[in-house]
Amino acid sequence: MRNSALKQPSQREDFYPSRGTLSSRMLEREVPVVYPSPDRCPIDRELITHYRDNGFLVLDNVFSLDEVTAFQQEVDRLRSDPQTRASGEVIREPDSGEVRSVFRVHQVSSVFRRLATDPRLTDLASYLLGDQIYVHQSRVNYKPGFRGREFYWHSDFETWHVEDGMPSMRALSMSITLTGNYATNGPLLLIPGSHLRYVVCEGETPAEHFRNSLRKQEYGIPDDNSVRQLARDNGIVAATGTPGSVIVFDCNLMHGSGSNITPYARSNVFFVYNALSNRVGNPYCDRPPRPEYLCSRETITPLAQAKEAEQPETRGSAANTTRLVTNSQAEADDE
């Protein structure tokens, strides 16, 4: 097992090379998915095993409808707030210009700052990562009805490693569903088990890649054969859920989502938790680091300290009900 401690850039070996002159191939993951933790396990151990083997979990009814209503109101406020819209930290739909993503919500919104430090999320994240944690990135993805565009297949870790300098796979995302995520309105699509393989991507990282990649990603995406192989081995699951559910997924899980042509907007808020020992270094590509709103580099606050600074208004158990999503269940959800 490799030591994932951050090395100085000059001595730093790149265990997950990608892009540049490399051709596409798959590397085996060599680091754990669930790290040893001295803390009490906040959910059933069966669910931890499911997460370890599949790379994701869907937890239902974590947040109440009243809480979700407050989160939705905050998304509406942020999307129409002139200061947020002018901040350069907002991504618009390529065609319609509608706001697609708002970044750094854990810093610009007190509602989402409290949510990012809510123990229902952070206890599980720090348990799985076996370390103190901090928010590497946060964003609301608002996929409007009718013309909400897709997010093409990718592993987040590939981008965070190459463009942000995240050394190892010791990070995860939690996506809180703010609307119904139905099989029909562009839910997250996940390839179970794909977190155990790293897909080397092709192509030189363009200058200021983030300006286009967040609207439509064309570099740092897997080749068709790799997706075909991963899907053939493990299938594809649609992570559906009622508002207030939490989708937890490993940083290297292959995922994406289709466009939304239904009248029903699909919106989710994402927090990416990284282990403190896995802080980012220099990017592994030959480009300057991405801006702070996409990757915490200068402002890293361990969440235990953030919690002391501001207590969440509500506390509760990790999840009221939980669900193991299998391929057959995803198919049943479609009906």
Residues that bind ligand AKG (CB under 6 A): 141, 151, 156, 188, 255-257, 268
How many beta carbons lie within 10 A of that of residue 48, not counting itself? Answer: 18
Name the minimum Å distance from CB 80 to ligand AKG.
20
Name the minimum Å distance from CB 39 to ligand AKG.
27
Name the minimum Å distance from CB 72 to ligand AKG.
16
Q: Nearer to ligand AKG by C-beta: 18 or 268?
A: 268
Q: Nearer to ligand AKG by C-beta: 243 or 256?
A: 256
CA distance 126 to 164: 21
Own/partner pairs for 1-9, CB < 8 Å, 24+ apart? 1/30, 1/31, 1/32, 2/30, 2/31, 2/168, 4/31, 4/167, 4/168, 4/170, 4/277, 4/278, 5/167, 5/277, 6/167, 6/277, 6/278, 6/279, 6/281, 7/167, 7/281, 9/281, 9/282
Q: Nearer to ligand AKG by C-beta: 102 or 285?
A: 102
Name the minimum Å distance from CB 187 to ligand AKG.
7
How many beta carbons lie within 10 A of that of residue 12, not counting itself? Answer: 14
Q: Nearer to ligand AKG by C-beta: 4 or 268?
A: 268
Name the minimum Å distance from CB 112 to ligand AKG.
16
CA distance 257 to 300: 30
Nearest residue to the partner ligand AKG, using Cβ: 257
Q: Nearer to ligand AKG by C-beta: 119 or 256?
A: 256
Q: Nearer to ligand AKG by C-beta: 48 or 71?
A: 71
Contacts with 117 (C-beta within 8 Å, 6 or more apart), sequence order: 303, 306, 307, 310, 312
Q: Nearer to ligand AKG by C-beta: 220 or 283?
A: 220
Name the minimum Å distance from CB 303 to ligand AKG.
21
CA distance 244 to 239: 13
Name the minimum Å distance from CB 54 to ligand AKG.
17
Q: Nearer to ligand AKG by C-beta: 193 or 312?
A: 193
319 near 62, Cβ under 8 Å? yes
Name the minimum Å distance from CB 217 to ligand AKG.
9
Name the minimum Å distance from CB 250 to ligand AKG.
13
How many beta carbons lie within 10 A of that of residue 95, not counting itself? Answer: 9
Contacts with 131 (C-beta within 8 Å, 6 or more apart), sequence order: 35, 170, 275, 276, 277, 278
Q: Nearer to ligand AKG by C-beta: 47 or 239?
A: 239
